[in-house]
Amino acid sequence: MTIWHKEISQSVDSVVDNPDIAALYRLWHELAGATQGLPPREAFSLKGPMARLVPHMMVLECDGEDFLYSHYGSEIQRHSQFDMTGRRVSEFGGELADFFGTCYRRVLAQRQPLYTVHCSDRAKSVFTWERLILPLQGKDGRLCLKVYNRPLESRAQMLEVVLESSSDALLVLRAVPQASGPPEWLVVLANERFARLAGSTAGTQGTSGHLVSEVFPDWASLGFESDCYAVLNSGRQTREREMRRVVNGAERWYALRVGPAPDGCVVRLADVTALKLHELELEAKALQLQADNAELARWAKLDGLTGLANRRTLDAFLAMELQRTQRHPSPLTVVLCDIDFFKPYNDLHGHLQGDDCIRAVAKRLALAAHRPTDLAARFGGEEFVLVLPHTPLRGAMEVVENLRKALDQQPLPHGASHVSPRITLSFGVAELLTPEAVSPAQLLKLADDALYQAKHQGRDRVVALRWH
C-alpha cells in the first residue's frame, strides 16, 4: 500500500498531543476493564459530554466485510468537501477504500483501539489526518466503530514550513486596481527572509492582506516593482535578472525571478553572493592572466638587456615594412650601428660596466627613433638597428646626426678607444627608394656593408649606400 501512514496500538495516550484522543483512549480502557470486553456503544454517545466532539466523529456500522457510515462529522465534511453519511467505505474507491477497510477490520479482529496518521490524497486543505478508531458493542451485540478524525497538518501549515525553510526570500503579491494610475500591491504571503530583506522588524506577522508598501519599509528601494508590473501586464511571461543590494553594510547579490500568479505575481530572491564573489574572483584572475599574457607577449618582443626590440621583432617588422613599400611606394631606410672598440672596453672596464654602456647607448637610440612608425632594435652584442619607414636618406642622416650629438652632449667615457676618449658609434645606412622585392636579409646586408666601410675608414663615422 503506497498511502503514507503510521500506526500506534499501545499506550496511545502517552504519545499523542491531542487531549481529546488521550481522553477517549483512557475512557475506552476504563470501560473495557470494567466490562471485561468491548465497551458499550452507549458509553460513547455523541450526546451529552461528547457532543462537542460530534463534528470530528465518524460512526461506522459493520456490514459484512464492509462498513456503512451512519454519521460523518461536519468538520470532516468541511475539510474533505464531501459527505459519506449513508455510504460504505468501499465507495471511497482505490487505495483509500482498501486502507480504511484494512484498518477497521483489524481493529474489530484485535478488539483494541488503533491510532493512525495518514496522508490525505483527497482533501485540498489537509495534508495529514489523525484518527483514533474505537471498537464498541451495542446492546443488541452488534459491533460498530466510532472514529475520532481530525486534521493533524494542514497544507497551509506545510506551505508555511516550506516557505520558512527556504533559503530564498519569497513574496506573493496581488494587484489591487486603482481609479487612476497603476495598481497597488497587496501581500498574499511572505516568508521571514523576505521580511528581513525588505526592512520589516516584526517579521511576517500581520503582513498578509496589507499593501506591500505599508508593511515593508524598504519595498521601494528593492527596485523590482517595475518587474512585477511587467509580469502582470505580460500575462504569463517570467522575468529574471541579477540585482545587488547592501545588507547590514555588506554587498549582496541576488538572482531575482518574478513569475505570474492569479491577479498578481510571485517574487523569489535567491542569494547568489557566494557564487557572484567566486565569479568576480574568476573574472579578476582571468583579467590578470590576460594582462600577464600581454606582458609576456610584450617582453617576448623585447631584448632583455636593453628593452629595445629583439632580433625576432626586428625581422618581422622589417618584412612587414618591405611588403608595405611594395603596395604603397615610399622610401625606407635602415641604420646599422656598432659601438667602437667595445671588446677593449669590456676588457678594461668589465662586463657589468659593458652592459651599462650597452643600455646607455640603447636609451639614446630609443630617443632618436621617436616616431610611432620607427623601430629601434638590438641586432646582437654591441650592434643596433634603426628602421625608419617613410624616410629618405637625408632624413635618416638627420636622425644619425642627432644621435651623435646626444652622445657628445652626454659623453660616456671610453678608456680603451683608439679614436676618442668617449664612446663613439660607427654607422652603416641603407636606403631603399624603389618598390622592389627586397628581403630583410638583403637590406640588412647592404647596411652591414656600409657599416664595414665606416669601420674600415677609421670608425666614428657614417657611410650610406642605396639599393640598386
Which residues are catalytically annotated?
A: 382
Q: Give Cα separations from 107 to 101, 113, 400 (angstroms).
A: 10, 6, 115
Q: Which residue has the cell 449513508?
A: 86
Beta bridge partners of 85: none
Cell numbers found for residue 320:
612587414
Q: Which residue has the cell 612608425?
A: 373
Bridge-based pairing of strands 126-137 and 114-119 is antiparallel
| Cα gap 72→85, rounded to integer Å | 5
| Cα gap 293→379, rounded to integer Å | 25
Sign of the Cα pseudo-torsion (348, 349, 355, 358, in order): negative
Q: Give Cα separations from 315 to 265, 304, 327, 338, 410 (angstroms).
A: 67, 17, 19, 18, 31
Rg (CA), the chain: 49
Residue 68 makes CB contacts below 8 A (sequence gap 6+) with: 60, 61, 86, 87, 88, 89
The 3-state DSSP class for residue 428 equals: strand
Cell numbers found for residue 292:
600577464
Cell numbers found for residue 169:
526570500
| Upper half-sphere CA count for residue 161 (Cβ side, 13 Å) | 7
